[in-house]
Amino acid sequence: MPDTPATKDTVTTRTINAIRALTIDATQAAGDGHPGMPLGAAPMGYVLYFDAMRHDPSQPRWPNRDRYVQSAGHGSMLQYALLHLTGYDLPMEELKAYRQWGSLTPGHPEHGHTVGVETTTGPLGQGISTAVGMAMAEAHLAARYNRPGLAVVDHRTYVIASDGDLMEGVSGEASSLAGHLGLGKLIVLYDDNQVSIDGGTDVTFTEDVLKRYEAYGWHVQRVADGNDVEAIRRAVRAAEAETARPSLVAVRTVIGYGAPNLAGTPKVHGSPLGAEEAERAKASLGVDWPAFTVPEDVLAHARTAMERGERDRQAWEGTFARYEREYPQEARELRYVFEGGAPDLSGLELPRFEPGGKVATRKASEAALNAVARAMPSLLGGSADLAGSNFTDIAGERPMVPGDLSGRIVRFGVREHAMGAVANGLALHGLAPFVATFLVFSDYLKPALRLAALMRQGVVYVFTHDSIGLGGDGPTHQPVEHLMSLRAVPDLVVLRPADANETAQAWRVAAERRDGPTVLALTRQNVPTLDVPDGAVARGGYVLAEASGGEPRLILVGTGSEVALCLQAREALEGEGVPTRVVSLPSFELFAAQDAAYRESVLPRAVRARVTVEAGATLGWERYAGDLGETIGLDRFGASAPGDVVMRELGFTVEAVVTAAKRSLARL
Amino acid sequence: MPDTPATKDTVTTRTINAIRALTIDATQAAGDGHPGMPLGAAPMGYVLYFDAMRHDPSQPRWPNRDRYVQSAGHGSMLQYALLHLTGYDLPMEELKAYRQWGSLTPGHPEHGHTVGVETTTGPLGQGISTAVGMAMAEAHLAARYNRPGLAVVDHRTYVIASDGDLMEGVSGEASSLAGHLGLGKLIVLYDDNQVSIDGGTDVTFTEDVLKRYEAYGWHVQRVADGNDVEAIRRAVRAAEAETARPSLVAVRTVIGYGAPNLAGTPKVHGSPLGAEEAERAKASLGVDWPAFTVPEDVLAHARTAMERGERDRQAWEGTFARYEREYPQEARELRYVFEGGAPDLSGLELPRFEPGGKVATRKASEAALNAVARAMPSLLGGSADLAGSNFTDIAGERPMVPGDLSGRIVRFGVREHAMGAVANGLALHGLAPFVATFLVFSDYLKPALRLAALMRQGVVYVFTHDSIGLGGDGPTHQPVEHLMSLRAVPDLVVLRPADANETAQAWRVAAERRDGPTVLALTRQNVPTLDVPDGAVARGGYVLAEASGGEPRLILVGTGSEVALCLQAREALEGEGVPTRVVSLPSFELFAAQDAAYRESVLPRAVRARVTVEAGATLGWERYAGDLGETIGLDRFGASAPGDVVMRELGFTVEAVVTAAKRSLARL
């Protein structure tokens, strides 16, 4: 290692090349990974972590830190190298174990796994769209909580995005929304390297990206040379100075920069350079230090980030201390946002509904949502242009509008996918978001929902119109496979309440569940209100109606609107002398989480005559029907007609349940 | 009805108002539906069906007809009224039965259900994106098959799209691709009514849409008054004159036009007007004829479409007859495209792979796909920027490029959702599309895949990297819930072949299946090549390895890469004296379609000790495991590490299968 002190410029270049060298070393060691992006984008990463961003490596969750989102998640080594160099708790041993079992350096950055990773990225388009949610959270919290002279929420969100990110529709939706809301503290650096996996971007991506972003209402700039650190700096500063609009800076880079034979080609995107090319690349970059080491001057330079970060953080802590004294209630609310953790729902008074009436569960959800919103200041959200159908407005609250983002209602527009990604950003920022659309359109936001589950974020999805019972809109709007598809997602809780009271309880479960997402599947149509024991929904399944004599010969298991049908069928079966129990099973996941004794008490193994009833795919219901049971469901698409007609025509009748019950009984 | 002949202008206005009146009548009768859009957009619909489009109501599937796609599917009454008036086989009785069980007038237009409906719409963004596929099909077929003086494929694709359509990301992706390819015969009328469900579009959609489309490379125009028929006509003609770029015409309309109290408000979007407002609207529109009737002058005017259509069609038939004489081979290929039906695969020679070797099924798929492409000229497709990973290139073929769309390879860019919708358009146009991405990113195109299933279109999805076995890319790229989620979709066939030979057979199934979509889930990693009986895959499941002595005590059921694990576990179990059968189950759906005797022969009810093995969600596997069986799967997210390590660490080992087998045996 050189012992002569380097000039400022030299150390900048050397630091950038140290990032590149670590990328080369880690991908070579793994024999796997994506070196191209970090080699090209290292100067951008440098400018952000070393110059633009306020961040404290020693306190990576300091609330007022700037957020960095690497939307181009495949270039994870860029972020790992930056985190390591600037002093985050990510030792060199972890970089050596890139992409290995148990390491802190997975192939794509994972939030909650690696320090300093603000959101999990990799699926293209998600990072930038989640960043829109983070910037929205910042603007919302600032508008709601800052006080004169006390800007306790005041930071930026920086993104590096790739061609792929900007080709994805979700980023277009989110960027349009960001432009509409004027998220001036969102700054996106576009790694404009003109290369995608299948070749140059000219093979498919020839639109004028900057013009498109101008059309969204963004401030746009171009940097001609991605190695010109000063030009990147200037552009970032200009972007920071523009506070009324989000900023996009297209930076022309060379993918795989430094690799003499591979730079500028698609080959360098997704495979290590190979030993020889790696050697040559290092030589061409002037990297004369051993693999997985960092020259002292570079390290010394890099670690200045810690001092700056500590200073910035301490200044903010002073401000927040003053805020806490002057605005204790607001400070308490903010602390909850900053720290997350279990919400204080002691003040929550859920609505109770009188059994005997009829209420659509989407309507009951509105009342419960409003009760939760009163008890939980961090709750906010809205619908993808279906607020009046999803019943998601909060009484007395205003929507976020350009110029005033303090409202707790978000009008997402017809942008389900961006809504899902934005919700992730809101949740990652400590807020408690809910989002809403029809259940069938959960498909549009599934990639974002999956990330919420993977990151264990407490997003609540209000999915109404949950079956063919919605009627005339027909098969394009009638979910069939969706309930079971969602149940197959790990770490997601799906709740399909049977009535208004189960709905209220379901909202409590969702509100309390801050370590993972929750789906509420709700009816459009009215369903009878039941007498639901306290805490029943939280157990996932329970005995709603016991067999006469308390010894069931048959069990009917239903969810949602089909529970009422099970109750009617029970009457008929009891009338024919069959002691019949009805089990309401609002959540597979919560029921599976109960102890074996409870599950046995609800669904005794010995009672093998069973019928499950749900207006959705039967696949998966064998879990509760068992070998001798029957599954009544829907393995075809729906049809357009009034909801009760569709239900009847497609087999959701008392007669059908009774007939199925007899078939099952006959197998005993 | 008036018996004085109306002037030309008058009859135009009266016809437009007849469309409006039918909309009012049908939604009033149904007590349900969306009157707002047809009331506002009727003049646009009029210009298209009465002036711009070449279509023959008496022969609605005439191959060279112009295509009309109503992307704003909720305004279905606009299309039904136009079809009825211009003489399609959609009688007034059907309009009276709008949204009723069994009628031909469902809430949203359904292809294959209602004559003249080119694609099923309703889920926003899908129609316009599918239309991009139709326009691509037209341009491809024209480039490939037209000969000098014989333009046998030469027509346009017209779309009416709403704010909602243009807010959806999928339309952005598709429009970017359409602009890139220069689809000059695609003309989109944007029903710019400034109202969405949650309020004015100003609450969330303030971007400059025309500028965005210019950035995509489109030709854009604006019409200031949506009731100015001449202005709409002029704009459509200018759009038709522009042949190098797709066209967007923003037409400023008034939602619910004519309804005195509701016009211009969100309320008129999704609910009937109500009796009183309906009455008043008709009065204000000068509709003085009874409900569900059409004045004679209007009908006479409307039915001129039939003469024009017949003339256009006959002219084309003359051209095609000449083409058939001069280019019989090309004409045969085109006829197949025009008529669909079972493909002639007599020339198909699938690759065979020697058992004992190791091949990734994605790699085997490449060979099979190429064999199918040779035998099936209508096959075309590509990947969402992963051609080199999905192995989907066709040897000897070129990609479609701007200016020459004759190539059979499509480079979709990182636009999975548009890829899915475009595939629907290609299929609806008679081509046999395949599309490709990683299995985990099937989420991105699910809404389009669902429509393929609903419309029973023969789209083939090549989804590689089908499990945690893909390794280092980690949980963002490792599918878990996807196989089971896809299996829950009605009318979709999911195939997860175990080896190279099953893969080849799976491709035959997919190629033959022209009446519904097929998913091929393929490995990234190498798997052992097996000895697979002919036709085994088409049956969905089969006995791959029989128990010693032919009398199994235990059955191991696996799919894909886990079949090899089952075979290894069988060795171990047989070694311990347990006669063990291995069943390979590449497709739940195809197996379920076999007769009971065959299914019983593969999975005899009496053999209740079972273990199912699949590196995906266990939910749904109870169908084959039964009450005494065990399901080995993955109910958590994956992890980043080499594929074999992840497989081992997450429980896909011989030991785990043997242990599970013993647990199951112990229950007997």
In 3D space, the residue among A664, A635, A624, A483 whose CA is nearest the CA of residue B623 turns out to be: A624
pLDDT, residue A1, reads 37
What does the pLDDT look like over B438-489, one tens digit per residue?
999 999 999 999 999 999 999 999 999 999 999 999 999 999 999 999 999 9
CA distances from B58 to A614, B89, B90 (A): 43, 8, 11
What is the pLDDT confidence band of residue A197, given thresholds at 50, 70 and 90? Answer: confident
* Record: contact B484-A489, CB cut-off 8 A: no
Does the pLDDT value for residue B8 go beyond 50? no
- Over range B11-26, report the average pLDDT: 98
Does the pLDDT value for residue A3 go beyond 50?
Answer: no
Nearest to A353 by CA among A499, A538, A509, A566: A499
Ordered alpha helix ranges (H), B415-470: 416-428, 442-455
Average pLDDT over residues B122-136: 98
Residue A342: its pLDDT value, please?
76
Tell me what the mean pLDDT of segment B38-66 comes to: 97
DSSP collapsed to 3 states, A225-290: CCCCHHHHHHHHHHHHHCCCCCEEEEEECCCCCCCCCCCCCHHHCCCCCCHHHHHHHHHHHCCCCC
Q: Say whether pLDDT at B4 is over 70.
A: no
For residue A636, CA distances in Å to A176, A226, B82, B519, B588 come to 37, 53, 30, 18, 15
Whether B562 is catalytic is no
Residues 6+ positions from B381 with CB-CB distance below 8 Å: B392, B408, B409, B410, B423, B426, B433, B434, B435, B436, B460
Phi and psi, residue A643, nearest 5° = -55, -45
Q: How far apart are the first and last CA of chain B?
A: 80
List the beta strands (DSSP E) in B18-150: 67-70
Q: CA distances (Å), A218 to each of A239, A419, B402, in order?
A: 10, 19, 29
Asked whether residue B7 carries a pLDDT value surpassing 80, the answer given is: no
- Tokens 């181009």 belong to A72
Q: Rounded CA gap, B478 and B439, in Å?
A: 8
Distance CA(A317)–CA(A323), nearest Å, equals: 10
CA dist., res. A387 & res. A381, Å (int): 10
DSSP per-residue letters across A66-135:
PEEEESSGGGHHHHHHHHHHHT-S--HHHHHTTT-TT-S--SS--TTTSTT--S---STTHHHHHHHHHH
How many whole angstroms separate alpha carbon A603 and alpha carbon A587?
Answer: 14
Distance of CA A90 to the CA centre of its chain: 25
Nearest CA in chain A to B125: A414
Is the CB of A300 inside 8 Å of chain B's CB atoms? no
For A105, nearest residue in chain B (alpha carbons): B640
A152 vs A323: CA distance, rounded Å: 8
* pLDDT (tens digit per residue) in A315-326: 999 999 999 999
Q: Which B residues 600-619 touch A at CB under 8 Å?
A: 617, 619
Interchain CB contact of A451 with B (< 8 Å): yes
Q: How many Å lie between the alpha carbon of A189 and the closest alpha carbon of chain B? A: 19
- B121 — contact with chain A (CB < 8 Å)? yes
The alpha carbon torsion through A88, A94, A98, A103 (nearest 10 deg) reads -100
Per-residue pLDDT reduced to its tens digit, A239-265: 999 999 999 999 999 999 999 999 999
Binned at pLDDT 50, 70 and 90, residue A509 comes out as: very high
Q: How far apart are CA A361 and CA B360, in angstroms?
A: 48
Answering whether pTM is above 0.95, one says: yes
Report CB contact under 8 Å: A196, B491: no
Least confident of B77-81, B266-270, B402-406: B266-270
Q: Is A191 on the interface with B (CB under 8 A)?
A: no
Which residue in this structure is represented by tokens 């290369």? A195
Give the mean pLDDT of A527-538.
Answer: 98
With cut-offs at 50, 70 and 90, classify the pLDDT of residue A592.
Answer: very high
Contacts A74 to B, Cβ<8 Å: 473
Q: Sorting pLDDT into bands at 50, 70 and 90, what band is B9?
A: low
CA atoms of A161 and A377, how far apart (whole Å): 33
pLDDT number for residue B441: 98
Q: How far apart are CA A43 and CA A27, in angstroms?
A: 19
Q: Alpha-carbon dihedral of residues A350, A355, A360, A366, nearest 10 degrees?
A: -10
pLDDT of A143 reads 98
Gap between the Cα atoms of B440 and B160, Å rounded: 33
| Mean predicted lDDT score pLDDT of chain A | 96
- Interface check A172 vs B, CB under 8 A: yes
- B323 at interface of A, judged by CB pairs closer than 8 A: no
**CA distance to partner chain B, nearest, from residue A436 (Å):** 13
**A364 pLDDT tier (thresholds 50, 70, 90):** very high
Q: Could you give the maximum distance between any two Cα atoms of chain A, in Å?
A: 96
Q: Please determine, for the modelled complex, whether the ipTM score is greater than 0.85.
A: yes
What pairs with residue B262 in β-bridges? Answer: none
- C-alpha A646/C-alpha A475 separation (Å) is 10
Query: CB within 8 A of A659, min separation 6: which ones?
Result: none
Nearest to A524 by CA among A342, A388, A416: A388
pLDDT digits (tens, 9 = 90+) for A297-308: 999 999 999 999
On the question of pLDDT at A313 being above 70, the answer is yes
Please answer yes or no on whether B485 and A481 come within 8 Å at the CB atom.
yes
The encoded tokens of residue B81 equal: 């009224």
Percent of chain B beyond pLDDT 90? 96
Rounded to a whole number of angstroms, the distance from the CA of A268 to the nearest CA of chain B is 13
- In chain A, the residue whose alpha carbon lies closest to the alpha carbon of B169 is A169
Mean pLDDT computed over A371-381: 97
The one catalytic residue among A416, A502, A614, A630 = A416
Work out the pLDDT band at B6, boundaries 50, 70, 90.
very low
For B486, the token pair is 């896809």
The predicted pLDDT at position B198 comes to 85
Q: At what angle do helices A169-181 and A126-145 cross, to 10 degrees?
A: 20
**What DSSP string describes B143-212?**
HHH-BTTB--S---EEEEEEHHHHHSHHHHHHHHHHHHHT-TTEEEEEEE-SEETTEEGGGT--S-HHHH
Does A244 contact B at CB distance below 8 Å? Answer: no
End-to-end CA distance of chain A: 80
Mean pLDDT value across chain B: 96
How many alpha carbons lie under 13 Å from residue A144 in its C-beta half-sphere?
Answer: 25
| A8 confidence band (pLDDT: 50, 70, 90) | very low
Q: What is the pLDDT of residue A344?
A: 85
Those residues with Cβ within 8 angstroms of residue A64's Cβ, 6 or more apart along the chain or in another chain: A54, A152, A153, A154, A155, A313, A316, A320
